[in-house]
Amino acid sequence: MKKDYLPKHVALIMDGNRRWARKNGLLIFEGHKFGEERIEPIVDTAIDMGIPYLTFWAFSTENWRRSKVEVNFLLGLYRKQLDKKIDSFHKKNVKLNIIGNILMFPKDIQRKTKEWMEKTKNNKTITVNLALSYGGRDEVLRAIYKLTQESKIKDQELKKIKKEEFEKYLDTAGQPDPDFLIRTGGEMRLSGFMLWQLDYAELYFTDILWPDFTPDEFKKALKEYQSRIRRFGR
């Protein structure tokens, strides 16, 4: 596959972990474990292809509504796996960034997350965003709050705010918007993911469940992206 005309930023909605577990006769929690193992191979492939930004939607604001047992399992998985893999990511020159309302997480996860981001902040090969406790509407509301608080903008002046100014207060400030969104699991909707940033992204939906989404499937999606002509409304 040619490495020209590739997206600079790929966003991924990792859907289908629980369905994959049921399909394979496993407890639904096992699906999350297998799904987590798919992240690093996709990062490695993106590095090899020269893609500088990836965003994985790992936990939504709506996921807090799941059973307490499942939520606690996901929090434990996050603690364990990132603790285990942060050194590997660091050696690969990966900059780890978190988007979402991290204040909704327990204090120890907030602390660990800040430590991981600090450790990798100067890495340059690729920026990997993990969207945790993330919802698109929540992000926009938080951005508006930060803008009004930090800029001391009066209500009547909000009408004059330009797009570029507003974007400085989004979780992805300083990053290019995703060119390409991949959603696994067969659903054909955004579910509120990166509502502002995906304005003109190319969308790719696949029936492949996330734990079965291999680097070859990733390359297949990228090849589809290369076949499209982007007009941006022109």
Sign of the C-alpha dihedral, residues 8, 9, 15, 16?
A: positive
Strands (E), 91-201: 94-99, 126-134, 180-183
Task: Tell me the catalytic residues.
Answer: 15, 63
Sign of the C-alpha dihedral, residues 79, 137, 190, 126?
A: negative
* Angle made by CA atoms 123, 178, 210, in degrees to the nearest 5: 90
Q: At 64, is the secondary structure helix, strand, or coil?
A: helix
- d(Cα 180, Cα 201) in Å, to the nearest integer? 5
Give me the half-sphere count of Cα atoms (radius 13 Å) on the Cβ side of residue 128: 26
What φ, ψ does residue 152 adopt, rounded to 5°? 55, 35
Instruction: Centre a 10 Å sphere on the Cβ of residue 77 and count the other Cβ atoms it contains.
Output: 16
DSSP 29: H
